[in-house]
Structure 1
Amino acid sequence: MMSKKLFIETLGCAMNVRDSEHMIAELNAHEGYELTDKADEADLILVNTCSVRERPVHKLFSELGVFNKLKKEGAKIGVCGCTASHLGKDIIKRAPYVNFVLGARNVSKITDVLHRDKAVEIEIDYDESQFAFKDFRTSPYKAYINISIGCDKQCTFCIVPKTRGDEISIPPELIIAEVQKAADGGAKEIFLLGQNVNNYGRRFSGNEEKVNFTELLRRVSAVEGVERIRFTSPHPLHMDDEFIEEFARNPKICKSMHMPLQSGSSEILKAMKRGYTKEWFLNRAAKLRELVPNVSISTDIIVAFPGESEADFEDTLDVMRQVRFEQVFSFKYSPRPLTEAEGFTNTVDSEIGSHRLSTLQAYQDTILDSISASLLGQEVDVYFEELRSDGYVAGRSDNNVLVKVKGSEEWLGQTARVRIIDVSRSVQYGEIVA
């Protein structure tokens, strides 16, 4: 019998990537679906959505229209993820050819909704923290592993708590078992995922041993076969000294830290309900740079949040000046449904917001040019995980520098010493040092 084919489009964050892997695994194990990269030959088309910003939501319905025209006769279309959680049955009203809607907190129900036409499963208090998913990984060289689901923060700009529900930590023994399985399968790099990873352990659904994120990092690093550990996203509020010191001294933890700033203004941070000040953020970044001189720090920044003045924006630029981020994901504020800030009336003029965004991005480019120029001639250890079509293999250094070298698949899953011979803002070119 010919296997059924599954096409899946994943939008948004690393947690969505992992959710897609879970759905692929369940559909393969229980329903016999095999992946295809051609939507027109698929028996099932899934769109795993993101609702953090406005644009992906608008894009969803145009994408669905395209897939409806492309799909073969009898094929089903399912919408999953965060936009599924917040729009629910409205998706089927607007696109009646959609067969089912599956929210971000309901991934384990994929094989159930598949057989119920027009099914809508979007409970945000559904508890999947102890569900044992079947195994599938996009890459054999690194493993994404969820350590918590949901979010307890009340940031006024963010829809995530309304689409992923309250935060629940996955039991440590389940995480360690998954890490061991991934390492036994050849994954040397483990990527831990959660909305606020360093809030891990705050709430378990069962009577679990109380373990915090720092202790979890120690346990993951003790698993045989694990060579590198990455994680996203920590919250600046929970970056205590114990956490930063473990990050600094544990050789298996990669020396790159994502610290979502959002704004450099303490006033705006208060309006955003971020829970920290400009001074706290700068103090934590300075401690990181002091203990780990080669650390790379990335961040998220929103400009033109309601009430943001020129002075507030200058505060953001000042933090950029002081921290010198290696990577900045920057956006102009867009109001999201179900959030407190949607009702704020002190909005910033759109043109002013666009100007601030381009100013910030141009300034970050000058920082990146300086950082990349300093890499020329340096030697870094690169873990290769991707074969490129242009005769290169690509991987990342311990501190997250993306490096390409001429090479073939024999380097995949290997770590090599590389000298940087050509630089740019986004990717560096190197040669393997014999």
Structure 2
Amino acid sequence: MPQSNNWVKTLRRAIKESIGSGWTVENDRGNMRLIYGTKTTGRKSINLPYLWEENQMIEALKFIEEGANTYLENNGKILLKTAFKYARNSSSEVKLDWEGAFVRYRKERSDIKENTWNKKHLPVLEGVMFYMNRANHRPQNARALYKKVINEYKHGQYNQLVGWPPDKATIRRHMRLAFNSFLDYCCNYEDFPSYWRPNYGNFKDNNEEKNIAKKKDIGYPLTDAQIGRLVDNFIDQPQAQRWKFAAQLCSVYGLRPEELNHLVLRNNKTELWCIYQKVNSNFKERQLLPLLVRDVDGEPFDWNYNLVQRLAAGEELPKIPLGNGGQNFGEYLRRKSIRKTWLSICAEAEAEGQKCKPYSFRHRYAYVAHTRPMEDGTMRAPKQIADAMGHDLQTHLESYARFMTKDLKKAFDLAEV
């Protein structure tokens, strides 16, 4: 047996020495299963609320001793399941303060923004509270609770699955991370038994990250002509004009939709800066540098030239709730008066096997930065473009490597085919 399973031998030996022969444990799909009896007398078994992990051995042994002693004291006249249920009810399990842990966890994780908390953490933790506040049939360990919360609990009001479709790998990952983080806290700071500690390897779908990568849409860069067409079709109405202004800024400066909430003017209102900082990013602020949107003749559209001045004069942008930039922008483009034009552009992207989103304005900026020469005929360095877009070089290379090989067609015989 591999060295890593020496703890199994130790546990089985301890059970035999403490309780007597005829008792042992087996691995049952990652959980501990207790078995009692022989082939001659017949075997009985029960699932234990512990994962098949070395760090749960000590607590499992104590629980087995208590339940087995209860069973033997009754001369086997009660069900094995009943004996261990009594052992569990007499243990400290009933004293676990799930509600209190939930409240204290939120205070501990004050670094999580309210919108992120409500969207990615709260639905999962509401599921945890739902199952652990039951009078009966509560999950007995982290694995059982995870399966209930992820696969069975109806998240959202009126028992509808709001925002958590289980077939989406990215959503399941968010749920898993939120679940693991809370139970880690409970075990580390609230003294919950070790069988409530999440088991990362077993909870994580082995194909999860692969599925996420496979399903990730290829970012479609809008063409300048498409942007010109879109801008021309916003109706003359205050809200539409605010979103038109937003589309122009995102196009010329390569903005993330969320960054529309974080624009400031500096140097006597002649420079446009973005002070948005993504989580885990070293970029705290950057000056925004334009790449003008041009018509079919290569001339910049007139509206390129006065964007900063319009902001300085107090022209309004749409009011976007913090953290919802991309979602709000997308909803407006899909549902309002500009819908027909936007959907026609989306159809053009889909015909090329790509998907058009609010980030497509930003993708356009990256594409132009890599393919349009500067005035002296030279090309911009990837690091320069990454800095202008507000992310590190590695992130830029991962997202926009397909734009970096200039004149690729000229290196082959495509023209002769």
More helix by share: 2
Tell me whether the two structures share a fold, i.e. TM-score over 0.5: no
Where relative contact order (Cα < 8 A, 6+ residues apart) is larger, the structure is 2
Structure showing greater Rg: 2
TM-score where L is the length of structure 1: 0.19
Normalized per residue, the structure richer in strand is: 1
TM-score, scaled relative to structure 2? 0.19
